[in-house]
Amino acid sequence: MGQNPSKITRRQLLRTGALLAGGLPLAGSLLGKAQASPIYPGSTGTLEQYRPGSKGWVEQEIALKAPADLKARLFANENPFGPSDKAKRALTDAMAKSYQYPFMYFKDLYQMIADREGIKPENILFGAGSTPLLMAAAMYFSKPGGNIVSGDPSYEDLPTTATHFNAKWVKVPVTADYKLDLDAMEKAVDGNTGLVYICNPNNPTATVVDTDKLRGFCERVSKKTTVFVDEAYIDYLPDPAGTTLVSGIKAGQNIIVARTFSKLHGFAGLRVGYIMAQPDTIKKLEDYTEGPMSISATSLQAALASYQDKEYLQGALKKTLASKDFLYEVLKKEGYTYIPSSTNFVMFPIKMDGEHFASEMMKRGVGVRSWVLGGSNQWCRVSIGRMDEMEAFAAAFKELS
């Protein structure tokens, strides 16, 4: 098992303040920046950012504004085809014993992932979704004077958290075809780079980089710094096993691979995610996060069921692809282009102000997310939902396009 629940972690010490008092290196380096009600001691971000309705999380803001009779929830890249029936049954069955701490369910889940990936349980760390693990990496690898390299645009949680811990965020623009620019990212790495964050497939562009090129990148760059490959959307690719960078971990490289059950498994509300890395990296990151003890016994047992439910996963993927094809046709018919998507969402340029567009769509019962790329170009990111949701999108979109 990757986590020893009985261990008093650095994170727990941080919470009690003992580490701050002891002045260990992390806390010591951050004390000067501490504010009233920080998320973590030393963080410059405050809880205010994460309160409902605050500016901390765009999707949360949209969700809170959404009417109760929302017709299509297409703003958070969730998967409405999940969770699977088997996962739901496991949840219901687990309810009766949910007064018990979930100690006994980690082992099976760790072993199952290890067996499928051809790694050891010591290479894995679970969390309540992958977000706490991204946060742990951001905290651990951010050093004052250091930097974190990411694509632009890309998923921002990890680098944003890193800036709260005084790291500089080096943003490398995507290529003309909206893919991560691996050559430019490699050039951006310097002696102060604490971590390179690669989101593949990338959110929000929905593009994927060439696997061999990424393997070469990881082999070279992981000799200089840690490479974090976020594979949240990998299950939507035709060959996830042939695309994952877990091969780099097996080859001994300094890589962290993140996965989540929030997407194809449909577990966004159940909160299960994991990272895979070298055992010493896992041990270090354990100190910055709660690990599997932060996951409910019900969610853990549902994850065990879902991970083995190949039939459900294939079915959900098929339905996602059908809804995506429908969306492509709608966009083409209305004279719009889009970035071909390797995920469960699509980015396309719009012909009006993005926020105005999103709010007009919301008035019509359809929640989407807008984006500004390159400083001025307005885009819409629409998640792939059920066919009735895509039809609601089409009806609202035709009124505005």
Ligand X SMILES: Cc1ncc(COP(=O)(O)O)c(C=O)c1O
Cis before 153 (ω within 30): yes
Per CB under 6 A, 131 contacts ligand X:
yes
How many angstroms separate the CA atoms of 73 and 338, rounded?
20
Q: How far is the CB of 99 from ligand X (least distance, A)?
A: 26
C-beta of 27 vs 76, nearer to ligand X: 76
Per CB under 6 A, 199 contacts ligand X:
yes
Q: How many residues bind ligand X (CB under 6 A)?
A: 13
C-beta of 3 vs 131, nearer to ligand X: 131
Q: Among residues 130, 163, 222, 306, which is the contact residue for ligand X, using CB under 6 A?
A: 130
Q: Among residues 155, 288, 393, 397, which is the contact residue for ligand X, using CB under 6 A?
A: 155
C-beta of 270 vs 327, nearer to ligand X: 270
Q: Among residues 42, 102, 129, 159, which is the contact residue for ligand X, using CB under 6 A?
A: 129
Please, which of residues 264-283 interact with ligand X by CB under 6 A? 268, 273
C-beta of 231 vs 389, nearer to ligand X: 231
C-beta of 129 vs 159, nearer to ligand X: 129
Per CB under 6 A, 42 contacts ligand X:
no
Q: Which H or E run contains 136?
A: helix 131-141
Cis before 41 (ω within 30): no
How many angstroms separate the CA atoms of 359 and 218, rounded?
41
Farthest CA pair distance, the chain:
64
Give me the sign of the Cα torsion angle 91, 96, 98, 100. Answer: negative
Q: What angle do CA 93, 97, 100 make, to 5 degrees?
A: 145
Q: Among residues 3, 43, 77, 342, which is the contact residue for ligand X, using CB under 6 A?
A: 77
Return the residue nearest ligand X (CB atom).
129
Please, which of residues 342-401 interact with ligand X by CB under 6 A? none
C-beta of 30 vs 156, nearer to ligand X: 156
Centre a 10 Å sphere on the Cβ of residue 223 and count the other Cβ atoms it contains. Answer: 10
Q: For the chain, report the end-to-end CA distance as a whole number of angstroms.
A: 53
Q: Is there a contact between 170 and 162 (Cβ–Cβ < 8 Å)? A: no
Give me the sign of the Cα torsion angle 40, 46, 49, 53. Answer: positive
How many angstroms separate the CA atoms of 66 and 83, rounded?
22
Cis before 83 (ω within 30): yes
Per CB under 6 A, 299 contacts ligand X:
no
C-beta of 131 vs 193, nearer to ligand X: 131
| Site mask for ligand X (CB under 6 A), range 214-233, x = bound | ----------------x-x-
Residues that bind ligand X (CB under 6 A): 77, 129-131, 155, 199, 203, 230, 232, 260, 262, 268, 273
